[in-house]
């Protein structure tokens, strides 16, 4: 149950909190108090008096819910404001390959309007014998490249024991699709205040994502970004995954966290990345995270889905233009009126 207090009754919050905290989860946001496992009948007369509205049927992932927190969360990093009216471009190589290469890719990323540089130093590979990333060295190269171009760093943390170390280098943790329900890892990043980009698992439902995000929020970290990156369906002959663009407005309705879209892992093949990226801009995502490479054929990982610099800049230009289209108020032309 969420109770919305009447104006001027916020002073009662501490009382309510202390009354229920021992036996129930209690969360407060402005004049809203969420109390789990409690119904209207559990409130006393005085409390009922202070209440403007009672919301039942609250999802388990209450802290992430719009019912509890109606306004958009804006995740703030040194170089970006993610969410709300902003449209954030995040780009970079799949893997950090060398200090020089990631520096070059940072320049490309920046040239397309990106404010966040992505790059993997610890890679979750399907096979244990595939390239597993450069590790901490990679993080150093990535940080240097981002700094050189005044960008934020976004990089994956796969291991709860690496959280403190990775945090030294990154502005945003990425939790990968395979770890979306690695609850120990979610709890570990939940204990920091560094923003977390949580990627949707391959077969995660909308509710699963929101509950995974709640594991982070439950630890006290509310700087959460949710990323749609394609789901597993019955047909992956021509694309690696099925981009679920509909998940973007659905999530935006249910949660206040910014929702961005990763067309690279969804498409899996360069030729389909740009159309899917533009679909993401049109559907209203708060940003895009894309993989770029100047020589995809020799990329250390996932070259098949990397945009080349020119392709990336062309995509970015169109994506920003589409963002403008959908955020410009509709001009109701007189002749179209009935």
Kindly tell me which residue out of 72, 136, 147, 159 binds its own copies, with binding defined by CB under 8 A: 159
Among 10, 25, 147, 167, binds its own copies (CB under 8 A): 25
Check binding of 70 to its own copies (CB under 8 A).
no
Distance in Å, CB of 93 to its own copies, minimum: 15
Q: Which of 70, 78, 220, 275 binds its own copies (CB under 8 A)?
A: 275
CB atoms within 10 A of CB 273: 28
**Alpha-carbon span 18 to 79, nearest angstrom:** 39
Region binding its own copies by CB under 8 A among candidate stretches 74-82, 138-146, 210-218, 299-307: 210-218
Q: Is 56 in the site for its own copies (CB under 8 A)?
A: no
Is residue 57 involved in binding its own copies (CB under 8 A)? no
Among 172, 279, 288, 307, binds its own copies (CB under 8 A): 279
Q: Does the footprint of its own copies cover residue 119 (CB under 8 A)? A: no
Angle between helices 247-254 and 270-283 (to 10 degrees): 40
When asked if residue 7 is in the footprint of its own copies (CB under 8 A), the reply is: no
CA angle, residues 304, 310, 312, in degrees to nearest 5: 60
The correct pick among 94, 226, 267, 306 for binding its own copies (CB under 8 A) is 267
CB 249, min distance to its own copies, A: 4
The yes or no reply on residue 306 touching its own copies (CB under 8 A) is no
* Rounded-to-integer distance, Cα 14 and Cα 28, Å: 9
- Give the C-alpha separation, 311 to 132, whole Å: 27
- The reply to whether 36 sits near its own copies by the rule CB under 8 A is yes
Distances (CA, A) of 235 to 232, 240, 248, 312: 8, 9, 21, 26
Q: How many residues bind its own copies (CB under 8 A)?
A: 88
d(CA 12, CA 46): 10
Angle between helices 136-148 and 99-111 (to 10 degrees): 40
> Residue 41, interface with its own copies (CB under 8 A)?
no
* 249: its two tokens: 């407005």
**H helix or E strand, kind and range, residue 253:** helix 247-254
Please say which residue, 70 or 275, places its beta carbon nearer to its own copies. 275
Per CB under 8 A, 246 contacts its own copies: yes
39 lies in the binding site for its own copies (CB under 8 A): no
Note whether 234 binds its own copies by CB under 8 A: yes
CA-based nearest residue to 322, from 280, 267, 266: 280
Pick 7 or 235: Cβ nearer its own copies: 235
Q: What is the Cα–Cα distance from 232 to 202, expressed in whole angstroms?
A: 5
């Amino acid at each position: 149950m969420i109770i919305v207090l009447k104006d001027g009754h916020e002073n009662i919050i501490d009382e309510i909190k202390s009354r229920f905290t021992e036996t129930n989860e209690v969360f407060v946001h402005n004049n809203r108090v969420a109390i789990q496992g409690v119904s209207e009948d559990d409130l006393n007369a005085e409390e009922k008096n202070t209440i403007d509205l009672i919301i039942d049927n609250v999802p388990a992932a209450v802290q992430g819910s719009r019912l509890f927190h109606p306004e958009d969360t804006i995740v703030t990093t040194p170089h970006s404001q993610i969410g709300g009216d902003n449209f954030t471009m995040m780009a970079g190589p799949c893997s950090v390959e060398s200090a020089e290469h990631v520096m070059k890719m940072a320049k490309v990323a920046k040239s397309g309007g990106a404010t966040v540089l992505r790059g993997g130093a610890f890679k979750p590979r399907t096979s244990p014998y595939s390239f597993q990333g450069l590790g901490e060295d990679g993080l150093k190269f990535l940080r240097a490249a981002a700094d050189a171009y005044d960008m934020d760093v976004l990089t994956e943390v796969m291991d709860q024991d690496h959280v403190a170390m990775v945090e030294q280098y990154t502005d945003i943790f990425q939790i990968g699709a395979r770890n979306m329900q690695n609850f120990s890892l979610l709890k570990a990043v939940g204990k920091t205040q560094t923003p977390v980009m949580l990627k949707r698992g391959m077969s995660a439902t909308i509710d699963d994502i929101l509950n995974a995000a709640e594991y982070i929020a439950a630890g006290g970290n509310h700087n959460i970004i949710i990323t749609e990156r394609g789901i597993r369906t019955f047909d992956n002959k021509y694309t690696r995954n099925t981009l679920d663009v509909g998940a973007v407005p659905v999530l935006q309705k249910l949660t206040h966290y910014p929702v961005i879209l990763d067309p690279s892992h969804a498409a899996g093949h360069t030729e389909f990345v740009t159309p899917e990226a533009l679909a993401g801009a049109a559907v209203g995502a708060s940003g895009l995270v894309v993989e770029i490479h100047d020589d995809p054929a020799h990329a250390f990982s996932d070259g098949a889905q990397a945009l080349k610099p020119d392709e990336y800049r062309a995509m970015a230009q169109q994506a920003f233009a589409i963002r403008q289209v959908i955020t410009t108020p509709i001009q109701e032309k007189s002749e179209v009126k009935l």
